[in-house]
Amino acid sequence: MEPVQATLKKWLKTNKNFKELYSKLKQDVLNDSDIEAFLINHPELTSNDIERNLMKLYEYRSQSKNCRNCRSLNGCRNMIQGYSPVLEVVERDIHLSYKKCQYRINDERDREKTELIQSLYMPKDILQASIQDIDNDSERGQAVLELHRFIRQVKDGVPEKGIYFHGPFGVGKTYFLGALANSLKDFNISSTLIYMPELVREMRASLKDDSVNKKIDIFKKADVLMLDDIGAEMQSAWFRDEILGSILQFRMMEKRPVFFTSNYSLDQLEKMLATTRSGVETVKAGRIIERIKQVSHEVPVYGRNRRE
């Protein structure tokens, strides 16, 4: 069977109207500035070669190149979104192929990076936080300095200790976590961010389908673990000892950092953790606090309430 393009060409040539159409199409193709430049670069191509490959040149012409007139990947009008056509000459034959455009390359890189952040119940604005947007006001000064110090140290390997940020509601503690997670992406470091009250609920629910251990594993293995709002969760001895205790123990042994935010200082948190429905257990609470101190250091955050 003859190739479709060849049949079409023959047919076009025998029909008067189509003959005109064909010659117009050919003119358009040859007048295209990109194609003109391509042909100048390939003087070895005879008019016969060009004629034989006219449909490929036509397809090339109809596609947008170099994202010149594009604004985004979504606006791409090419046959395959995010791919632009490339012409090559192989043994006096013209080959047309498609390669990824810059927008597509950037988009794929961004997607890969987004996957470096895993989160459970974190607001969208926090996941988009950026370290550049943190103004270095004097009140939050120490906290911001500590955050920058961690990022500087990351260049030589992930530090053993994270930070336990504590301070009043709305000063930007959770925002710090999001900004940090986004900065760490540039170093290919994965973060897992979890809102503590939801973690307790999630773990309770997982008891039913036996997935608790699988989930704990995720929190143990993240390069950097971030526990948001510790102390705001419902206090339960089971969660404190079996879940939180086990995660912190593992990270402590493996020397992997944990970041925390809390409305409570470590002294205050110790009292909270001691009191559960099972009674008052100061030793068990003390053990958790010791582990928190092994995987982080305490930094107060002051400032105005940014939610107002």
Which stretches of the chain bind Mg ion, using CB under 5 A? Answer: 174
Binding partner selected for residue 82 from Mg ion, ligand ADP, none, CB under the kind-specific 5 to 8 Å limit: none
Distance of closest approach, residue 126 Cβ to Mg ion, in angstroms: 8
Distance of closest approach, residue 259 Cβ to Mg ion, in angstroms: 12
Amino acid, res. 31: N
In three-state secondary structure terms, 211 is coil
Q: Which residue number, 85 or 167, has a Cβ lying nearer to ligand ADP?
A: 167
Binding partner selected for residue 115 from Mg ion, ligand ADP, none, CB under the kind-specific 5 to 8 Å limit: none
Q: Which residue number, 134 or 193, has a Cβ lying nearer to ligand ADP?
A: 134
| The two three-digit tokens of residue 20, written as one number | 């005109």
Phi, psi (deg, nearest 5) at residue 170 = 85, 5
Binding partner selected for residue 125 from Mg ion, ligand ADP, none, CB under the kind-specific 5 to 8 Å limit: ligand ADP
Question: 145: left (phi > 0), else alpha (psi -120 to 50), else beta?
Answer: alpha
Alpha-carbon distances of 170 from 82, 124, 175, 260, 301, rounded to whole Å: 42, 16, 9, 15, 10
Q: Name every residue whose Cβ is closer than 8 Å to that of residue 38 and which is 6 or more positions away in sequence.
A: 87
Task: Determine the residue with CB nearest Mg ion.
Answer: 174
Q: Which residue number, 134 or 184, has a Cβ lying nearer to ligand ADP?
A: 134
Distance of closest approach, residue 178 Cβ to ligand ADP, in angstroms: 8
Distance of closest approach, residue 266 Cβ to ligand ADP, in angstroms: 17
| The two three-digit tokens of residue 188, written as one number | 């290919």
| The two three-digit tokens of residue 10, written as one number | 């023959």
Q: CA-CA distance, 46 to 56, in Å (whole number)? A: 16
Q: Which residue number, 76 or 180, has a Cβ lying nearer to ligand ADP?
A: 180
Q: Which residue number, 11 or 169, has a Cβ lying nearer to ligand ADP?
A: 169
Residues that bind ligand ADP (CB under 6 A): 125, 133-135, 169-175, 261, 306-307
What DSSP designation does 234 have? P
Distance of closest approach, residue 174 Cβ to Mg ion, in angstroms: 3
